[in-house]
Amino acid sequence: MRAFVLLLSCVAMSAMAADAGKGKALFEKNGCWQCHGYAGQGGAAGKTLAPKPMPFEAFTIFVRNSNGPMPPYPKEILPEADLADIHAYLQSIPATKDYKSIPLLNQ
């Protein structure tokens, strides 16, 4: 139980110290954009990540252990701090317009 609390604390600290600017660069450097798009919008090849990304804890667990179409990214490839920065970048992406406000999506 203490170990779990410690883990959550570390995760929370990582998230708090994260840098969205660095995260954007890391999102591109690590190829996240290749399936999820530069804005995390998703598409046929990858899920929508932003806006409103999943909580950091769940995000971390998914990235490390994915058994779905996305391969897992171990720490050797993507260190914890980099992952936190990437999450911060996804959090910084502004909310999407309502499609009803876009004429081309209402024809």
Partner 1 sequence: MAREGSFKHRRRFLTGFVAAGAASAIPPVRAAEAQAPKPPSALPPNARVAAAETQVANELPPNRIGGVPGSDFMVDVLKTLDIQYCPANCASSYRGIHESLINYGGNRMPEFLTCMHEESAVAMAHGYFKIAGKPLMTLCHGTVGLQHATMAIYNAWCDRVPMIVIGGNDLDAATRPPNVPTFHSAQDINALVRDFTKWDDTPVSLQHFAQSMVRAYKIAMTPPYGPVMISLDAGLQQEPIKGRGSEKLYIPRYVPTAPPQGDSGAVKEAAKLLADAQNPVIVADRAARTPNGIKLLVQLAEALQARVVDQGSRTNFPRTHHLSAPPSAISGADVILGLELSDFWGTVNSFTDNGEHGLGHNSSRIKPGTKLISISSSELLTKSNYQDFQRFQVTDISMVGDAEATLPALLEAVKSAIPAARRGAIAQRGEAAKKAHADDHARTRQAAAIAWDASPISTARLVMETYNAVKHLDWSIVSQSGNVSNWQTRLWPIEQHHHWIGRSGGFGVGYGAPASVGAALANRDAGRISVNIQADGDLMYAPGVLWTAAKHKIPQLAVMHNNRGYHQEVMHVQRLANFRSRGSNYGGGMGPVGTRIENPDIDYRKLAESMGWWARGPLKDPAQLAPALREAVKMVQAGTPALLDVWTQPR
58 scored as a contact of partner 1 (CB under 8 A): no
Instruction: Write the binding mask 67 to 96 for partner 1: x where contact by CB under 8 A, - elsewhere.
Output: xxxxxxxx-xx------------------x
Under 8 Å between Cβ of 89 and 27: yes
Task: Please select the residue that binds partner 1; options are 22, 28, 54, 62, rule is CB under 8 A.
Answer: 28
Nearest to 38 by CA among 7, 2, 3, 29: 29
**Helix (H) / strand (E) containing 77:** none
Closest approach, Cβ 52 to partner 1, in A, equals 10
Per-residue tokens: 73: 């990214």
The DSSP letter of residue 100 is G
Task: Please select the residue that binds partner 1; options are 34, 55, 58, 80, rule is CB under 8 A.
Answer: 34
Q: How many of the other CB atoms lie within 10 Å of CB of 27?
A: 24
What span, in angstroms and rounded, lies between the C-alpha atoms of 85 and 18? 5
39 scored as a contact of partner 1 (CB under 8 A): yes
- Interface contacts to partner 1, rule CB under 8 A: 28-29, 31, 33-35, 37-39, 41-46, 48, 50-51, 66-74, 76-77, 96-99, 102, 104-107
